[in-house]
Amino acid sequence: DRVDINIYWRGGDDFSVAVPALSALSLPWNAYDNKQKVEVRASEAYYPYYVGQWRNFGGAFHTILRYGTGMDHVSQFEGFPTDTTAMYFEYTGHAPLKAKIYDSGTQQYVEKILKFGVNFALDGFNYMAMAESEDQCKRYLDYQKFPAYKRAPADALPIIRDDDTGTWGGQENPAWTIKYYTPAPPEPNESAFVLVEHQGDERESVEAPSANLTFNTFYESGRGVFGENFVDFKDLARRYQPYCDVSFSIKDSLSIDAMVPVQPWGLPIPDLKQTSKSTQIYQIYNREGFIPILCSAYQFFRGGLRFKLVMQGKTENYGNFVVMHYPERHDIADLTVPGAGTIDSVPLSNYGYYIQSIEVNNIIEFEIPYYIPLNSVFPNPCNEEARLKLACKLGSIAMGCTAIK
């Protein structure tokens, strides 16, 4: 009783596209405001609270916050945004919320700390259902958004022992931190589809024989309008664009002074409360060049990335500059300054590196190879859970400089 049809299309001989640039287009990656404009907290007289269960939620098996042991003494919350189907919340109180949770592996009830929650709405009131991890919150939102999972949202949350009242959260009523997530639909079941071969031919000509084929300058690869044209997007992507601005003091001995991830979409927007004004200007207004904009149109990419380092300041004080590539360091998410005396602050052996005297040339160009054992990786920000980290970036770059003695 259902037919799924995939529709394909392709451009004609005169088809061309224009690549926009800032400020005509800005990508939505990492675009949430650092300052919360709403405060999600328990309503007056509904705290302190603890983790328990409720007859109207998940069949009285799953975790929800309560303020008392009465039948319906369930904590009500306020301050939720209008639509909470794409967000979950993190507890910020000092007193941990503990409860005895059923462990399917040991088949025992084990005391655990729960610090994440999701909104459960009923009859116009809002409650906070609790989870052990962010992954459980995401599954709750997935089940809630897409009925195709055929699972009740509460099934994603822990099961609590029925006689447990949990650990009270203390007299404070903290505001919960909002976490954003885009619910994902279930993967399609291939057995539900019947594969059929396409019909028709593969002619190369435009399917409009009576059309006027005399084009103006706009259709001639855009040269008349934009002043340049590219037959291949790779030609455009070979240009350099700003990536980040790094400042550090020069030391007498060679050390690693900064590390950055290797990813085509650039670095995330910096926290305005923790960065200098110059860094804010560089990272915010130069964060999206043509490479991230091109990547936003594609699902995957493969191949290396080229970088150019330009040293500024009093270069006569510089000695040697070292650049190293750590292909397995996928844990570096942003510009990082290693702490003194840590393993990250020391240049390590067995890695690809390049050393150059800055006194001779203050510009270094190098290419990071595609050392990933996968056919392709994601060109846009992705969920960096452990199993996906390998497919999110090409490792990390470590760099450092020594002074002339």
pLDDT, position 144: 93
Beta strands in 43-144, from DSSP E residues, in sequence order = 50-52, 64-66, 77-78, 87-90, 98-103, 108-113, 116-122, 125-131
Q: Is 281's pLDDT higher than 60?
A: yes
Q: How confident is the model at residue 107, as a pLDDT?
A: 86
Confidence at residue 47, expressed as pLDDT on a 0 to 100 scale: 92
> What is the percent of the chain with per-residue pLDDT over 90, rounded to a whole number?
30
pLDDT band at residue 235 using 50, 70 and 90 as cut-offs: confident
Boundary of a domain, candidates 141, 158, 180? 180
Mean pLDDT of 20-41: 68
Residue 221 has pLDDT above 70, yes or no: no
276 and 146 together in one domain: no
CA–CA gap between residue 114 and residue 131 (Å, rounded): 6
> Is the confidence at residue 274, as pLDDT, over 70?
no
Q: Do residues 250 and 391 share a domain?
A: yes
Count of Cβ atoms closer than 10 Å to residue 243 Cβ? 23
pLDDT grade, residue 243 (50/70/90)? Answer: confident
Q: Does 313 map to a domain? A: yes
CB atoms within 10 A of CB 227: 7
Residue 88's φ and ψ, nearest 5 degrees, are -135, 180
Answer yes or no: is 391 within a domain: yes
**Is beta strand 98-103 parallel, antiparallel or unpaired with respect to 108-113?**
antiparallel
Q: In the prediction, which pLDDT does 69 show?
A: 87
The average pLDDT across 66-83 equals 90
pLDDT in tens, 339-378: 777 788 888 888 999 998 888 888 999 999 998 888 999 9
- Greatest mean pLDDT among 73-87, 120-134, 270-284: 120-134
CA distances for 396 relative to 103, 116, 307, 326, angstroms: 37, 31, 12, 5
Can you say how many angstroms the Cα of residue 231 is from the centroid of all Cα atoms in its chain?
Answer: 31
Please indicate, yes or no, whether residues 278 and 385 belong to a single structural domain of this protein. yes
Q: Roughly how many angstroms between the first and final C-alpha of the chain, as a whole number?
A: 80
Model pLDDT, residue 218: 45
Q: Both 151 and 287 in a single domain? A: no
- Under the banding of pLDDT at 50, 70 and 90, the label for residue 199 is low
Range in 52-56, 272-276, 391-395 with the lowest mean pLDDT? 272-276
Number of domains in the chain: 2
| Alpha carbon distance 52, 366 (integer Å) | 57
Domain of 84 in residue numbering reads as 41-180
Q: What's residue 296's pLDDT?
A: 86
Check pLDDT > 90 for residue 272: no
Same domain, yes or no: 273 and 397? yes
Residue 147 amino acid letter = P
Do residues 302 and 390 both lie within one domain?
yes
Check pLDDT > 80 for residue 386: no
Cα 372 to Cα 391: distance, rounded to the nearest angstrom:
8
Mean pLDDT of 291-301: 87
Structure tokens at 231: 């037959």
- pLDDT reported for residue 370: 92
Between 46-60, 185-199, 208-222, 333-347, the lowest mean confidence (pLDDT) is in 208-222
Three-state secondary structure call for residue 121: strand
DSSP 174-235: PPBEEEE----PPPP-GGG-------S----S-S-TTS-----GGGSTTHHHHS---SSHHH
Nearest alpha-carbon partner for 284 in 22, 2, 84: 22
Of 129, 155, 180, which residue sits at a domain end? 180
Of the candidates 143, 162, 180, which is a domain's last residue?
180
pLDDT exceeds 70 at position 37: no
* Within-domain flag for 233: no
More confident call, 400 vs 247 = 400
- Judgement on whether residues 52 and 175 belong to the same structural domain of the protein: yes
Quick one: 169 and 250 in the same domain? no
Closest listed residue to residue 269, CA positions, set 35, 12, 24: 35
The CA–CA distances, whole Å, from 343 to 77, 249, 338, 346 equal: 45, 19, 8, 6
User: Model's pTM, two decimal places?
Assistant: 0.55
Question: Could you tell me the CATH number of the domain that includes residue 344?
Answer: 2.60.120.20
**pLDDT at residue 213, as a whole number:** 47
What mean pLDDT value characterizes the chain?
81
More confident residue, 16 or 158: 158
Assess whether 267 and 131 both reside in one domain: no
Q: Which of 23-27, 236-240, 247-251, 315-319 reaches the highest mean pLDDT?
A: 236-240
Task: Tell me if 36 is assigned to some domain.
Answer: no
